[in-house]
């Protein structure tokens, strides 16, 4: 049983270099906690993992339960735990639990870490439990940010998110779900939305994976948990990965974490879900990370730094051009063929220039106006 990491996180709660940050967004004062590894320095572009708690839960609670701080220390990434407004996330649930702009809040958090900690914009990840899992799927479907991968536990897609899911990026997806989850049923429900199979099919179609996954039964060392695990892997996805961890007779729980509160039903102890999640997320990168190098001779941005005008020369088809500030606010958007952009609307500073190609690839460049 994976009790040792959980107990270790409780004993060492005050020894970690975690920080609580207040952030004003959409007229509300919000909070998030983050942990950065002891080896961090400003020259490193570390990955960022945002962990979203379930309904009625808290950032502190999910930090203590999952022990991602230890995994972050061992694997050199920054982990962040935001607090939902009134302990809930607005994931367009079938039964409304929040109307807060959580999409904007999470995007503002990613901008905070890019600005203050130089995190890698190509290696931003999300994971969430229950309502936090629903929110992770929503972000992958709707966000202007590129999340290279998401991992969800006992969370799915609401009917609204499922019907309107139109991702801008090829986000890798790991989904964990118990077949006897009484809170978010595996087969879906009128209150929670679509089934797990429908969610997997949605991502399979968008990512271009083969429709029939390969299923492997994982070892079952914990016979007393009355549950077993299989891993379904979809092959030949486009620049992405898609997997389902199916927990036969598993409940609404984090696999591998024995807790007294926070879930309902059987807890599978054959796997330790936080480590499985990081093993899946680790190394995933937004497709544009490679495109910046591959297309260096196909797209030229000059001058940079610039003063009055920036010119974009390209021999590949461009769908749109966007300029955002360091807080992720869009200052310029153009879907026309204009490639000479007057900078009169910009003050001196650092910005991000996003170039989206017609084949859904995205190239991000840091630009400087003096």
Residues 255 and 365 in one domain: no
Q: For each of the chain's 370 residues, which pLDDT tens digit applies?
A: 344 333 333 333 344 578 999 999 999 999 999 999 999 988 889 999 999 999 999 999 999 999 999 999 999 999 999 999 999 999 999 998 899 999 999 999 999 999 899 999 999 999 999 999 999 999 999 998 999 999 999 999 999 999 999 888 889 999 999 999 999 999 999 999 999 999 999 999 988 899 999 999 999 999 999 999 999 999 989 889 999 999 999 999 999 998 756 678 899 999 999 999 999 999 999 864 333 433 445 678 888 888 888 888 877 788 888 888 766 678 888 876 567 888 888 887 777 788 877 766 667 777 877 7
Compute the Cα dihedral for 178, 179, 181, 187 and give only its sign.
positive
Residues 266 and 363 in one domain: no
The string of DSSP codes covering 49-72 is: EEEE--TT--HHHHHHHH-HHHHH
* Cα 321 from Cα 339, distance rounded (Å): 9
The helix or strand, by DSSP H or E, that contains position 291, with its residue range, turns out to be helix 288-294
Per the structure, how many domains does the chain have? 2
Domain boundary among 231, 260, 286: 286
Q: Which domain holds residue 340?
A: 289-369
Residues 218 and 86 in one domain: yes
* Cα 29 from Cα 82, distance rounded (Å): 12
Residues 35 and 178 in one domain: yes
Domain boundary among 286, 305, 337: 286
| pLDDT the model gives residue 336 | 65
Beta strands 309-314; 228-234: pairing state: unpaired
pTM score, two decimals? 0.77
Domain boundary among 242, 262, 286: 286
Return the beta strands (E) in 235-343 as ranges: 242-248, 299-302, 309-314, 318-324, 330-334, 340-342
Give the position of tokens 């007393």.
Answer: 224
Q: Which residues contact residue 118 at a Cβ distance below 8 angstroms, ignoring those fewer than 6 apart?
A: 42, 43, 44, 45, 46
CATH number where 246 lies? 3.40.50.1820
Residues 87 and 119 in one domain: yes
Residues 216 and 336 in one domain: no
| pLDDT the model gives residue 289 | 37
Residues 281 and 316 in one domain: no
Beta strands 242-248; 228-234: pairing state: antiparallel
| pLDDT the model gives residue 334 | 83
Residues 257 and 185 in one domain: yes
* Cα 285 from Cα 282, distance rounded (Å): 9
CATH number where 339 lies? 2.60.40.3080
Residues 278 and 298 in one domain: no
28, burial (CB in 10 Å: exposed 0-12, middle 13-18, buried 19+): exposed
Distances in Å between the Cα of 49 and the Cα atoms of 33, 90, 165 are: 12, 19, 22
| pLDDT the model gives residue 285 | 93
* Cα 368 from Cα 370, distance rounded (Å): 6
| pLDDT the model gives residue 11 | 36
* Cα 45 from Cα 114, distance rounded (Å): 9
Residues 148 and 86 in one domain: yes
Residues 293 and 210 in one domain: no
| pLDDT the model gives residue 350 | 72
| pLDDT the model gives residue 328 | 63
* Cα 120 from Cα 353, distance rounded (Å): 15
* Cα 145 from Cα 154, distance rounded (Å): 24
Residues 175 and 59 in one domain: yes
């Amino acid at each position: 049983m994976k009790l040792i990491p959980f107990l270790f996180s409780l004993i060492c709660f005050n020894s970690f270099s975690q920080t609580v940050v207040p952030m004003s967004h959409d007229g509300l004062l919000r909070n998030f906690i983050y942990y950065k590894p002891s080896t961090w320095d400003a020259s490193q572009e570390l990955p960022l993992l945002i962990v979203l708690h379930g309904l009625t839960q808290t950032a502190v609670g999910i930090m203590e339960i999952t022990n991602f701080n230890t995994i972050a220390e061992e694997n050199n990434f920054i982990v962040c735990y935001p607090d939902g407004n009134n302990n809930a996330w607005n994931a367009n649930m079938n039964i409304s639990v929040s109307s807060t702009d959580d999409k904007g809040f999470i995007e503002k958090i990613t901008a905070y870490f890019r600005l203050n900690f130089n995190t890698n914009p190509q290696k931003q990840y999300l994971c969430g439990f229950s309502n936090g899992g629903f929110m992770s799927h929503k972000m992958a479907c709707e966000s202007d940010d590129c999340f290279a991968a998401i991992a969800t536990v006992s969370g799915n897609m609401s009917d609204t998110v499922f019907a309107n899911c139109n991702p801008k990026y090829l986000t890798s997806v790991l989904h964990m779900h118990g077949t006897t989850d009484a809170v978010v049923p595996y087969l879906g429900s009128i209150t929670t939305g679509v089934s797990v199979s429908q969610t997997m099919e949605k991502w399979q179609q968008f990512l271009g994976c083969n429709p029939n996954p390969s299923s492997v039964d994982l070892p079952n060392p914990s016979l007393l948990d009355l549950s077993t695990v299989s891993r379904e892997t979809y092959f030949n996805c486009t620049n992405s990965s898609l997997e389902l961890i199916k927990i036969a007779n598993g409940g609404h729980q984090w696999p591998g974490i024995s807790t007294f509160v926070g879930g309902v039903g059987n807890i599978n102890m054959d796997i330790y879900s936080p480590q499985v999640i990081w093993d899946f997320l680790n190394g995933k990168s937004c497709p544009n990370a490679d495109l910046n190098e591959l297309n260096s001779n196909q797209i030229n941005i000059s001058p940079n730094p610039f003063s009055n005008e920036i010119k974009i020369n390209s021999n590949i088809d461009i769908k749109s051009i966007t300029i955002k500030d360091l807080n992720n606010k869009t200052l310029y958007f153009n879907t026309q063929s204009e490639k000479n952009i007057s900078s009169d609307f910009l003050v001196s500073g650092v910005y991000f220039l996003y170039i989206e190609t017609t084949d859904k690839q995205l190239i991000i460049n840091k630009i400087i106006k003096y």
